[in-house]
Amino acid sequence: MKIVLVIDQFDDANNGTTISARRFAQALQAHGNQVRVIATGKPADYKYAVRQMKFFPIVEHLITSQGMRLAIPNRHVFEKAAAWADVVHFMMPSPLGVMGLKHVEKLGIPHTSAFHCQPENITFTLHLGNSRRVNDFVYNRFRDSFFNRFTHIHCPSNMIAQQLRDHGYTAQLHVISNGISPEYFYEKRPKEPWMEGFFNVLMVGRYAGEKRQDVLIEAAAKCRHAKEIQVILPGKGPLEKKYRRLAEKLPNPIVMDFFEPKRLIELLHMADLYVHTSDAEIEAMSCMEAFACGLVPVIASSSLSAAGQFALLDESLFPVDDVDALARRINWWIDHPAQLAKWGGTYAKHTKTNYSVESSVRKFVAMEREAIADNRR
């Protein structure tokens, strides 16, 4: 099957949608499919290149704080891609996606979409994440301008599929996990010198409003074991300075830096506990990658986040935004090292059984074939 992925940014894997697209592209090719992308950047054998949009600084900041770039639609590029493709898969309701969809519809090419852009990812950046009215407006705008023009939509979790149903999305919804790459596997490595003597609590993610790393920092400071804890926050983002100031209350210096994937996997194999504090998550790949490597997760239970579905026991959950409850959970795991070791292996096995990227790709290919068949009717 010849598949074109439409995604504004493909080369720089610094956001969840791009990471998912790259992972799926590799796995699809490994299963005998041909994949090309329409994206910004330099032309390549696998890429139909389009130019990047430029904005006023305040708008540019809003977009780049999400780890994104936006592309300028190009009719000729879509015509060229459509002439090659069996099916076109749209990753985002961006201007590239909206205009590209018009061209693909006109050409009669089978097309599907994915729902990777949770409205709360946008509204939290604007400090409006808790406004149901604003979030509903974004859901409805996405629906009317883009998603209700598809008959098949890939949803990474049951949570987001239910949100789409609740907001009147009419397409057939295919719940398919983004999947975990085999490079994330269970292993316990000896700690490096800077980690020795500490109980290392890790959370991976952009320093952005909806990720709520501030809850982890506050909870670690309140822990009975605070002097033993080292907080490690791999990532980058607009709230870095704020979190560094907040972390001054911790007994031990916080570790905040951006790490390449290979180095990040090493950290996952050496850390002691993973905490996921996000208010809003369509699936939470960083959390999945952590427990695939053998880290027990402690996850915020939020109606706007799918991450809570991963918890295998009560001690892996705490109420969203509840600093005291998170502190109690961290204390419990420090006090029960045998349980920590046991459940680390259990979580890793659970991931391998239920969230392999190979399984996800088989389901994705089935969706694409169904869309192609529907287009012929």
List, for residues 290-321, the tens digit of each pLDDT value: 999 999 999 999 988 989 999 999 999 999 99
Q: Tell me: the pLDDT tens digits for 187-199?
A: 999 999 999 999 9
Collapsing DSSP states into helix, strand and coil, what is residue 113?
strand
Distance in angstroms (rounded) separating the CA atoms of residues 38 and 25? 12
Among candidate residues 28, 90, 134, the one with its CA nearest the CA of residue 357: 28
> Residue 23's pLDDT is what?
86
What's the pLDDT band for 124 if we cut at 50, 70, 90? low
% residues pLDDT > 90 (the chain): 61
pTM (two decimals): 0.86
What's the pLDDT band for 210 if we cut at 50, 70, 90? confident
Q: What domains are defined for the chain?
A: 2-179+356-376 (3.40.50.2000), 193-354 (3.40.50.2000)
Is the CB of residue 297 less than 8 Å from the CB of residue 316?
Answer: yes
Distance in angstroms (rounded) separating the CA atoms of residues 77 and 189? 47
Residue type, 54: K
Is the CB of residue 128 less than 8 Å from the CB of residue 134?
Answer: yes
147, 152, 157, 161: CA torsion to nearest 10: 60
> Residue 152's pLDDT is what?
97
Mean pLDDT is lowest, of 40-44, 67-71, 109-113, 234-238, for: 67-71
